[in-house]
């Protein structure tokens, strides 16, 4: 099993459900194509990451994932700097946005994928709270400038959907895709050797 991501959250989630894996971040262009809508963009990146590593490691099962935060139709990626992080969190404050996380699995020339959509509502934050949160450094490597599993949990009033998708890897959808690819999950570590009959 290869995780085509350097995200520590995704590594933690795979470990949480006993999927032993190696980490090999995929080098793909993450820019948005002209006229590309958020969901197709997110799914394309997950598929590109999985496919790229699957070509390089043909005997492996490769997991790719991508998470984006969308508000007012705009994709909020990782902040460029402190000011950008403050602007993003300010924009999310007191409002509801959507987190889309795509996951893809690739093996044997086949790539399967799906996207989870989660509605997230932020508490209303004042300027001092926003600056204090950004000063923790947590927002700087996260889409939408927050992490729900860290200090950012305080900012979230409610979520409607898969919590793990907001963290960066929808576990239920992942297991479904692995099953569709011919692998079984039995609440124990999975390896390539566990591949069953399609």
Q: What is the pLDDT of residues 5-50, one digit of tens each?
A: 988 999 999 999 989 999 999 988 888 899 899 999 999 999 999 9
Neighbour tally for 82: CB within 10 Å: 15
Q: Are 53 and 69 in contact (CB under 8 A)?
A: no
For range 52-77, the mean pLDDT: 95
pLDDT the model gives residue 184: 86
Residue of 27, 59, 66, 72 with catalytic role: 66
Strands (E), 9-134: 22-23, 62-71, 74-76, 96-107, 110-122
Nearest Cα to Cα of residue 100 among 45, 60, 57, 149: 45
Element (H, E) at 43: helix 38-56
Buried b or exposed e, range 115-135, using 16+ CB within 10 angstroms: bbbbebebeebeeeebeebbe
Higher pLDDT, residue 8 or 97: 97
Q: What is the pLDDT of residues 162-188, one digit of tens each?
A: 999 999 999 999 999 999 999 988 776
For the chain, list the domains and their CATH numbers: 2-191 (3.90.950.10)
Q: What is the rounded CA–CA span in Å between residue 114 and residue 170?
A: 10
pLDDT above 70 covers a percentage of the chain that reads 94
The whole-chain average pLDDT of the chain stands at: 92
Active site residue 66: yes
Neighbour tally for 7: CB within 10 Å: 18
């Amino acid at each position: 099993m290869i995780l085509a991501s350097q995200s520590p959250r995704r590594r933690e989630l795979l470990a949480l459900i006993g999927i032993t894996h190696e980490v090999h971040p995929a080098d793909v262009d993450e820019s948005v194509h002209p006229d590309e809508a958020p969901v197709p963009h997110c799914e394309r990146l997950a598929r590109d990451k999985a496919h790229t590593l699957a070509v390089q490691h043909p005997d492996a099962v490769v997991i790719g994932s991508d998470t984006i935060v969308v508000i007012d139709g705009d994709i909020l990626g990782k902040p460029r700097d402190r000011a950008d992080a403050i602007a993003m969190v300010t924009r999310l404050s007191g409002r509801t946005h959507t987190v889309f996380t795509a996951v893809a699995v690739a093996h044997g020339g086949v790539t399967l994928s799906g996207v989870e959509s989660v509605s997230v509502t932020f508490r209303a934050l004042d300027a001092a709270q926003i600056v204090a949160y950004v000063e923790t450094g947590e927002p700087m490597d996260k889409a939408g400038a927050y992490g729900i599993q860290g200090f950012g949990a305080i900012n979230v009033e409610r979520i409607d959907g898969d919590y793990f998708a907001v963290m960066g890897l929808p576990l239920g959808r992942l297991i479904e895709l692995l099953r569709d690819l011919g692998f079984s999950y039995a609440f124990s570590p999975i390896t390539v050797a566990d591949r069953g009959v399609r």
